[in-house]
């Protein structure tokens, strides 16, 4: 699979946001204070307060930076060589990598202790996903990979609804003895592609997954 460009931030604020997001993904949000973050990053706490008002401000900006990064990855995936399914798999690969690193408490911590950031990331992700999926479906229909009898805008909304259910399962640790949050995400994403694929599309997806051993 073609890989999206890795993070190469140069602005100091962008670098700090990227480093903070990596720490939140690894350790969770509630358990990490500004002093912990400064220590993990290797700067003074005073330095963090030069760039961010407080932890709430930092987390909100981390969530927006994550969405900015997602939009960049989507743009790269849509412009890479291949077809609509290749593009969709590249995006799934990026999100899967993020979720795999995510601390189990992160979604719960966001909702309970930082509701503004939680609402912001959900709203932006919904907008991003709706537009991306609709464009991908229209492209796949032209390529003969997706069925002609589905409505792209409506089907995009179905996927957003499925995404909320996946997040809910992850937040409340449902299926934790059987499936991780990343497993749930992959299953729901591949379910979406299979549900809208023509025979040609389903065959291509199967061969792609088998050949490249994706998500195993």
> What would the pLDDT profile of 202-212 be if each residue is shown by its tens digit?
999 999 999 98
Is residue 7 left, alpha or beta, with left meaning phi > 0 and alpha meaning psi from -120 to 50? beta
Residue 44 is predicted with a pLDDT of 94
Residue 178 maps to a domain: yes
Residue 2 is predicted with a pLDDT of 41
Residue 51 maps to a domain: no
* Spatial CA neighbour of 181 closest among 189, 190, 171: 171
> Would you state the structure tokens that stand for residue 207, as one six-digit string?
């061969």
Residue 4 is predicted with a pLDDT of 45
pTM: 0.86
Domain enclosing residue 111, as ranges: 63-212
Query: What residues in the chain have per-residue pLDDT under 70?
Result: 1-10, 173-177
The HSE-up count of residue 181 (CA atoms within 13 Å, CB side) is 25
Sign of the CA dihedral with 19 first, then 67, 165, and 85 last: negative
Residue 131 maps to a domain: yes
Residue 116 maps to a domain: yes
Residue 95 maps to a domain: yes
Residue 177 maps to a domain: yes
- CATH number, domain of 180, equals 1.10.357.10
Looking at residue 146, what DSSP letter applies? B
């Amino acid at each position: 699979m073609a890989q999206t460009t890795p993070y190469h931030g140069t602005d100091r604020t962008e670098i700090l946001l990227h480093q903070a997001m990596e720490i939140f993904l690894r350790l969770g949000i509630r358990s990490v204070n500004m002093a912990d973050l400064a220590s993990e990053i290797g700067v003074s706490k005073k330095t963090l307060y030069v760039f961010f008002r407080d932890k709430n401000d930092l987390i909100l900006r981390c969530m927006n930076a994550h969405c900015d990064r997602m939009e960049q990855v989507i743009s790269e995936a849509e412009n890479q060589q291949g077809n609509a399914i290749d593009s969709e798999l590249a995006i799934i690969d990026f999100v899967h990598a993020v979720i795999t690193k995510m601390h189990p408490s992160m979604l719960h911590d966001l909702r309970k202790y930082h509701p503004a950031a939680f609402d912001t990331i959900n709203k932006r992700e919904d907008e991003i996903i709706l537009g991306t999926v609709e464009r991908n479906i229209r492209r796949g229909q032209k390529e003969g990979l997706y069925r002609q009898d589905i409505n792209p805008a409506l089907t995009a909304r179905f996927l957003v609804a499925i995404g909320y259910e996946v997040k809910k399962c992850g937040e409340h640790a449902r299926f934790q003895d059987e499936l991780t949050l990343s497993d749930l995400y992959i299953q729901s994403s591949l379910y979406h592609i299979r549900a809208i694929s023509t025979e040609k599309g389903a065959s291509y997806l199967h061969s792609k997954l088998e050949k490249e051993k994706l998500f195993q």
